[in-house]
Amino acid sequence: MTIDDPAALIARTAAAIAPPDADAAARATERQARLTKPPGSLGRLEALAARIAGITARERPRLERRLVVVAAADHGVARHGVSAYPQQVTAQMVANFVDGGAAINVLADHAGARVRIVDAGVVAEIPGGEDLLRLRLGRGSADITQGPAMPRPLAERAIAEGVALLAAERDGEGVDIVGCGDMGIANSTAAAAIVAAVTGRPPRSVTGRGTGIDNRRFEEKVITVERALAVNAPYAAEATDATDGIGLLASVGGFEIGVLAGVYLAAASARVPAVIDGLISGAAALVAAAIEPGVQGYLVASHRSGEPGHTATLEHLELAPLLELDLRLGEGTGAALGITLCVAACRLLDEMATFEEAGVDDSDDVVTPES
């Protein structure tokens, strides 16, 4: 699929995002009450399934065709020593994804999900791998302490490619649920800048240790985020209402963040639940929500990362994470585990017997879960 007019594709996709189907969600909740269990006893899994019913507009959604998109790119800001790993690790890890040796390969398989790996803009060329989608929108984004990460047309292109990717996957093997993951040395610096710009929080409070950096590198990273925001005004740290998602991506983002933002928009427009992983895929969700706030209703937060910027992101998006396992790897690992829980929640809703079907007496109390 060639994209003639990326900006138009983004606008069309955003405009197609309708609110979740409240009626389907209500019917799912009503069905939950008739299943052979005390009301509310499956806790958050009940609310999760009802939410996915609203997203998919189906009383009993089935999440059989599962996809994890892992988008990778390099970042010019890596030159400031903000990561514990050298830049060539991005390409090496993408090769590891293609070879099936990374954590996301294991956890996607565990979740029954296929993996789509995207070279959105890695510096080094990645050998082999028919399964690798080679977008290569640049040889890494530019150093965001010196100016924008990329020209605005390229930001549009990155998002549009994410939209096209999900459309192609839906047309191909089909997608009932999608998780979003990332790879990119120094991309937690770009993500922290996005989080600071969107939430208005000070860079220090949303900057974390990423792959595991020492105090010296951490201080350098905070300064780098501050500089990136100052240089790329109007998305400065004091901004509290960043509504131009494309401009935000162009100024302090990255190619993989743009592709993931496009995946979120396309998922929401197609009533596909989209599962956020950690800091970087969360920052991509912020970009998507800046373009079209309605995307929020289609997002599921899989886990709370150890990265402070991730908690700020989830609060901004008003999403409660399903898991708190101190994951901070990225790649979509938390999203894959989150898909596992979404599948469990929807299977319970779909497959459990009702009191009537099973011939089980219902409660002699009428008690709501909140009582």
Closest distance to a copy of itself from the beta carbon of 160 (Å): 31
Q: How far is CA 186 from CA 81, 85, 169, in A?
A: 8, 9, 28
Q: Which of residues 296-315 bind a copy of itself (CB under 8 A)?
A: 306
| Shorter beta-carbon distance to a copy of itself: residue 127 or 151 | 127
Pairing, β 66-73 against β 113-121:
parallel
CB 97 within 8 A of CB 105: yes
Question: Which residues make Cβ contacts (< 8 Å) with residue 200, sequence separation at least 6?
Answer: 237, 238, 239, 240, 241
126 touches a copy of itself (CB under 8 A): no
Q: Is the peptide bond before 234 cis (omega within 30 degrees of 0)?
A: yes
358 belongs to the binding site for a copy of itself (CB under 8 A): yes
- CA triple 25-301-33, angle to 5 deg: 30
Length of the chain: 371
353 near a copy of itself, judged by CB under 8 A: yes
**How far apart are CB 114 and a copy of itself at their closest, in Å?**
17
Tell how far CA 338 is from the center of its chain: 11
331: annotated active-site residue = yes
Applying CB under 8 A, which of residues 33, 103, 133, 223 lies at the interface with a copy of itself? 103
Tell me how far, at minimum, the Cβ of 324 lies from a copy of itself, in Å.
7
Asked if 293 touches a copy of itself (CB under 8 A), the answer is: no
Tell me: does residue 4 bind a copy of itself (CB under 8 A).
Answer: no
- The residues near 130 (Cβ < 8 Å, ≥ 6 apart) are none
Which range, of 64-72, 155-163, 226-234, 328-336, touches a copy of itself by CB under 8 A?
A: 328-336
Of residues 103, 173, 91, 185, the one with CA closest to residue 132: 91
Q: Tell me: does residue 205 bind a copy of itself (CB under 8 A).
A: no
Residues 55-84 that bind a copy of itself (CB under 8 A): 84
Examine residue 186 and tell whether it contacts a copy of itself (CB under 8 A). no
Segment 217 to 276, residues that bind a copy of itself, using CB under 8 A = 217
According to the binding rule CB under 8 A, does residue 343 interact with a copy of itself?
A: yes
Decide: 191 and 279 in contact? Cβ < 8 Å.
yes
Instruction: Measure the CA–CA gap between 292 and 299, rounded to whole angstroms.
Output: 13
Q: What does the radius of gyration of the chain's CA atoms come to, in whole angstroms?
A: 20
Task: By CB under 8 A, tell whether 39 contacts a copy of itself.
Answer: yes
Identity of the residue, 155 or 177, whose beta carbon is nearer to a copy of itself in the bound complex: 177
Q: Would you please indicate which residues are annotated as catalytic (active-site) residues?
A: 331
Q: Which residues bind a copy of itself (CB under 8 A)?
A: 35-45, 84-86, 88-89, 92-93, 95-96, 99, 101-103, 105-107, 109-110, 209-214, 217, 306, 322-329, 333, 337, 340-341, 343-344, 347-348, 351-353, 357-365, 367, 369, 371
